[in-house]
A and B are shown apart, each in its own frame.
Chain A
Amino acid sequence: MDTASTYGLSELAMQLLVGLSRSMILFIISAGLSLILGVLRVPNVAHGSLYMIGAFAAFTVNTVIGGSLGFWLSLILAPLFVALVSFAAERALFCHLYEREHLMLLLFTFALMLILGDMVKLFWGVEYKSVTAPDILKGSVIILGQPFPTYNLFLLVIGPVVGFGLWLFVNKTRVGKISKAAAVDRMMVGALGINVSWVFCTAFVIGCFLAGLGGALVAPTMGLTLGMDHAIIMEAFLIVVIGGLGNIWGALVGSLIFGVTHSLGVMLLPQFAIIFPYVAVVIVLIFWPRGLLKSVW
């Protein structure tokens, strides 16, 4: 059987690029999860469900508006819808639970995941859904003599843009700085007369917005199905754990490790590709049990 030795450098580079584009999606989703973990200390299992809602909402926007405009609007409207849902959930439910222990919060978000999953079934039905990418992002471009999907190239651009936006929010805005402080010592922030409850709410909604954005962004690359929430939440949590709990840049590092080891593994040892990212997780946790970057927990 053929082995890696027959692959040229350009093919390996191509594989690396494909892996990087997947990392961007993973980063956007797990950065949101990490933000919520860091500021609110809530392990939000329902994050995957919000990602699923984002994808299905993007489908609806695309069906109602249609064309390229529908797609670009869906990238804004779908995450906004998810943000709205999460805002309602936070004000009605979450905000009463912050003082409880982690286990209670975990159970609560688990319940929320089941409820949201069934809501999606009620609203959107059981059929597979598919979103079409706009014409300029369809097909592939030739890079290094290999065809590379244009949409993945788009993901490689949008990932850093979102990352920069997140950096601006955390470091340059007042509420971002406060949430950073609240992550370290929420009692102190409260003692300074800041309404911690609203800071938490903002961080939660922004984290969920990112989940929705991730959902809207993957929509054109895959079939939308019930159960896509479960598929992503495991990976997102692993990424957050290896990156350092609550550290957004840890989420970036974790996503890169996850995406790239997976895609290179697929080429080098295709029969065992599934285990590569998990082996990477194990190695990281053996040597850096608290994650690669500083965990805020």
Chain B
Amino acid sequence: MTKGKGIKRIFSLAGIALLGCVFAMSLVFLPGHAAARDIKIGLVDCYSGGATTFTYDVRDAFQMAMDKVNAKGGILGKKVVVATRDTKFKVDIGINVTKELVMREGVDILVGTINSSVALAVGEIVKKEKIPFFCTFSKSDKITGAKGHRYVFGITENTAMIGKAAAVGLAGKPYVKYWIAGDDYEYGHALGEGVWKNLKKLKPEVKLIGQSWWKVGEPELTPYLTAIMAAKPDAVIFATGGASMVNIMKASKSTGFSDKFPMFIHTATELSTLMPLGQEAPEGVLGTSNYHFYYPDTPENKAFVKEFRAAYKRYPKVGALYGYLTAQYIIRGFEKAGKINTEKLIDALEGFTVDSPVGPVKMRACDHQAELPMFMGVTKKSPDYPFLIAAAIETIPGAETLPTCEEIKKLRSKKQ
């Protein structure tokens, strides 16, 4: 009999121990239970194909900032864990991986992406799930404009801001007859319209004599340029980006287009465009960008460049600024909130200013759009680098290019 009792006792003890284990595990692994958990951040972005030139910089600079804070014991004592997912530049895959990060991984914060359509879709998801989403590279002004809400933050400049900045720069020039050409998709058209609307406002006598749109990634731009040359505009606005940037710079040089016509291209002065071209890039092309590793020439920027180069053996491009700035908002935001709570983080970030390589950047309260400054310059050969750099840089403060809070309010009330 005693033997049987002993076995029973062993079983019941084991049962209790098992229950205890399950309970302990549920504390650790159940999503939403923040007791002993790390801060989990999901990076949703396109990590395949041509966009990787930009997105790897965001990811690496973000990771660099988080590694640094983890080495010091984490944010408020909590370690940061980063999970990345590839959207392959597709909306359906973007939605799937975002949902997977939210449901299975139980991420606290989402960061990404370079495709505006994906960013808008993620924006819809986080609205329901109540998870903060930092949009790093998508430039559609709908993200923090008409479709913006409490859980979305815009880091990069958007098409509304680019349009205004470019218009300010172009209005001071003597050109009247313009031609607009660019990528035939959301970003290209939004950019073209943004520049034109603002330019027309600042200088009513400008005339649009024609436009041409090519498919995204069009390899051969020569026929477009020769056709524009035949129409003889005073200046040309190129609403293009990504891979087409290198193509347009090459074609404009080999056709002699860049010698004959003043050109404005939003990202013409960016490193991703100028570095691969070496000495082959045309000089005197007007361009805008949020970041140059050589400008502003401040100790903060130099320290950032040094740290990034030490970690990844390359110059940081504009994406690195976006990734780093996002990390700063998360780290400083939690610190300001005083506890790891994402609702408190959102409250803390509204109107909050953090330091960055380009100086202090404020997160505007009314639309959650970071007030990043824009640097307008012209391409120029440099004795210091084997590629062209931006020269005669003018800084356009972010606050000047943003739509007003009233405009945002109007845009948001219009929908539905």
Contact = CB atoms under 8 A, between A and B. Distances in A.
Interface of A: 1-2, 6-8, 11, 14-15, 18-19, 21-22, 25, 118, 121, 126-130, 132-133, 138-140, 146-152, 218, 220-228, 231-232, 262-263, 266-267, 270-271, 273-274
Contacts of A15: 223, 226-227, 230
The residue among A8, A130, A140, A224 with the most chain B CB atoms within 10 A of its own CB is: A130
B48 A121 contact: yes
B210 A273 contact: no
Contacts of B223: 15, 18-19, 22, 262-263, 266-267
Given A128-B273, A267-B230, A274-B215, 17 more contacts: A7-B230, A11-B226, A22-B223, A128-B245, A128-B246, A128-B272, A140-B256, A146-B229, A221-B222, A223-B247, A227-B50, A228-B217, A231-B218, A267-B223, A267-B227, A270-B224, A270-B227
Contacts of A225: 49-50, 53, 217, 243, 246
B193 interface: no
B255 A149 contact: yes
Given A128-B243, A271-B211, A274-B214, A218 B227 contact: no
The residue among A222, A226, A228 with the most chain B CB atoms within 10 A of its own CB is: A222
Interface residues of B, number: 45
A273 B276 contact: no
Contacts of B256: 139-140, 147
8 contacts: A130-B278, A151-B254, A222-B219, A223-B247, A225-B217, A226-B50, A228-B219, A263-B223
Contact of B219 (A11, A132, A231): A231
Closest 9 CB pairs of A and B: A223-B246, A270-B212, A263-B223, A126-B52, A267-B227, A11-B230, A149-B254, A147-B256, A130-B276
B257 to A, nearest CB: 8
B214 A150 contact: no
A14 B219 contact: no
A140 B272 contact: no
A262 B218 CA distance: 12
Nearest to B52: A126
B226 A146 contact: yes
A222 B273 CA distance: 12
Contacts of A6: 231
A105 to B, nearest CB: 25
A218 B217 CA distance: 14
A41 to B, nearest CB: 29
Contact of B53 (A8, A25, A118, A126): A126
Contacts of B254: 133, 138-140, 149-152, 221
Nearest to B223: A263
Contact of B56 (A126, A227, A263): A126
A150 B48 CA distance: 34
Contacts of B214: 266, 273-274
Given A18-B223, A147-B255, A263-B223, A226 B52 contact: yes
A266 B219 contact: no
A263 B222 CA distance: 9
Contact of B213 (A21, A150, A151, A273): A273
A227 B184 contact: no
A152 B222 contact: yes
B202 interface: no
Contact of B209 (A1, A132, A146, A151): A1
Contacts of B219: 218, 221-222, 228, 231-232
A18 B230 CA distance: 13
A151 to B, nearest CB: 6
B388 to A, nearest CB: 12
A2 B52 contact: no
Given A226-B52, A227-B217, A271-B212, A221 B277 contact: no
A222 B50 contact: no
Contacts of A262: 223
Contacts of B217: 225, 227-228, 231
Given A22-B223, A223-B246, A2 B210 contact: yes
Contacts of B226: 11, 14-15, 18, 146, 267
Contacts of A271: 211-213
A273 B52 contact: no
B251 interface: yes
Contacts of B247: 221-223
